[in-house]
Structure formats: structure tokens, C-alpha cells
Structure 1
Amino acid sequence: MAADNPARPVVEPAPRTDMVDLHALYTAHWRYLVRLAVLLVDDVSSAEDVVQDAFVALHKRSGSLRDPDAALAYLRASVVNLSRSVLRRRQVVRKHLRVAEPEATAGADSDVLLRDEHRAALAAVKALPRHQREVLILRYWSGLSEREIAAALGISAGSVKSAASRGLAALHRVLGGGPG
């Protein structure tokens, strides 16, 4: 006996509303992320590569993100981690080749754009230990909260407070001339 079953209608899946809009993220945050990376790696070309790699990594994971609203935080953490990798690779190259990397040449208008105190402040920040430098950049340049910084760097909020305090004290000693 053959059963007469009417064909079941094909149900199209509803479009996912929890997908990450990479184009919108890229358009809205690319410049900010490159600036963040430049502060960490001190090189525009490497910073752009870091941000591009962060977006590629997000694209690969975008379907598995539990919270698409956390995509910017994911990108920020990726930029920090990829910047660390760039700096580690530079150290390895310098160590093994014993050749100093040529300094990047500043543009002709860089003196006009940055006053002496800005250059001194940037130099002082760059001289800080990596952990303190990252915390201060994320806190004061990116405007992140202690909780957001802790998530981006994978450390506790107490470590963020400690690194910020030590970093600010060091900057005060260098720039302010006082004991900190």
C-alpha cells in the first residue's frame, strides 16, 4: 500500500538577526582601531596590518559569536594581542640578526602637528613597560572602563588599577619632575 503524502512545503530559514555586520563595524571603527594599533606598535603600516588581521579573524568567527554586540570588544582585544605579536616578532628579528630596524621617517609636517610636549609625552608613554603602556592607552586614549580593559587584556580589574597607577606615577616622574 502506498501512502499518499502531500509534499511538505519547504520552509526557508529566517534571516539571522544576531549576525555581525562587518561592513558597518569596519566603516565605523577602522580608523579608531588603526590609531590604537599605532600607539602600540609605533608603525602605521604594521598597525593597518594588525587591524586587517583582526577583522579577518572576526570574519572567521562571526557566525560563532555568542554576542554580536561584543564584536568591537573582540576586535579591540585582537588588536592588542596582534600588536603584541608584532612586537615579539620584531624583538626576535633584532635579536637574531643583530641589526637595528631603521627608524621610520616622520613627515615634513610632523613638527608642526606635534608640539614638543606632545612628543615628550608620547616618548614617555612608549618608554613604559608594555603592560602599563597598554592599560594607559586603552584607558585614556580609548576611554575604556577598567572592566573593558581587563577583558581586552585578559587580566583582572585589580591588575588594571595597579598598572594604571604605576604607569601614571612613572609618567609624572618623567614629565612632571616630581617623585610621583
Structure 2
Amino acid sequence: MVSIRGPVGSLAHDDARTAVSELYSRHWAGLVRLAVLVVNDWPAAEDAVQEAFTDLYRHWPLRDNDKALGWLRTTVVNRCRSVLRRRRTAQLYTPPHEEPHDSAESTAVLGEDRLQVRRALQALPARSREVLVLRYYLDLPFDEIAQILGISPSTARATASRGLTALTQKLEEVR
């Protein structure tokens, strides 16, 4: 593979590669030990050091190339801090609560029970059905049910009582 580069790009690229390679061979092990002491995890430490060297290569030349080792140490420590922040965030995360899933058999039985209740409810007179749905499905107080249906609260109570009795009888017939 032939690469065509101008003299300036080639020199800068070669200088960066040479300088970073030399720093890498001399200081990689020490920087990894530094990172291990901070994050207490060898693979994460190696990643932090590798990313620091990659950043150094991208930023080469530095304003003062003699301070490259200090720049690397600072970058490694900052990368280690980021690793620790991500860990802390992961530890604090609480996944949303999931209800336990019912078995297929219990879901089928529950579905059948609900179907029986709906059929029995449909067999009731309209006023009884309305009162029971408003009371036990929407959990409304009798005063509000009375207002919605245009009846007195005592009529709503009596209708609910009679409706529950009729619903219970219809469900007992089915079972």
C-alpha cells in the first residue's frame, strides 16, 4: 500500500508516533499500576491508560512536550475518576420493580373468572350494573354515584346491596 503524504504531514505524524511510542514503552506499566490503585480493577486500569495514550497521540504536539508524562498521569487519573463515577451510578441504579409473572395456567383461570364475572354483571339490570361498576371498579363514594346517576345516596346504597346479592347468586349458579 502506497501512501502519498506531504513532507509536513509526514514529519508531524512520524514525530507523534515516535514520541508517543517512546513514552508508551517507558511509562505504560507505571501508569497502569497508578490506575489499578485508583480503580482497583486491572482491565479498567489498562483501558484508562490506553485511552490516555490515544488522547496524547491525538493532541500531539503539546504546548510543552516535556510535560507529556504529567499530562498522561493527569489524564489517567481523570479517566479513573470517570470509571468510578460510572460504577457509583450503576450501583445506585435501582431497576424498576416488575410484578412477578403468573403462570399460564393461573392467567387462564383468572381470565375465565373475569369472564364469568362480566357475564354475571351483564345479566343484572342496568341500574344495578351501573352502581356496582361505579362503586367497585371506579371506587367512587355513594354520594358521587348518586350525583352521577341522578338518584339519592340511600338509593345508591340499596341498589349496590341488592346488586351484590344478585351478582353473588349468579356466580354461585355458574360454579
Give the alignment's TM-score, normalised by structure 2: 0.45
| Structure (1 or 2) with the greater helix fraction | 2
Q: Mark the structure with the bigger radius of gyration.
A: 2
Whose RCO is larger (CA < 8 A, sep 6+)? Answer: 1
Give the alignment's TM-score, normalised by structure 1: 0.44
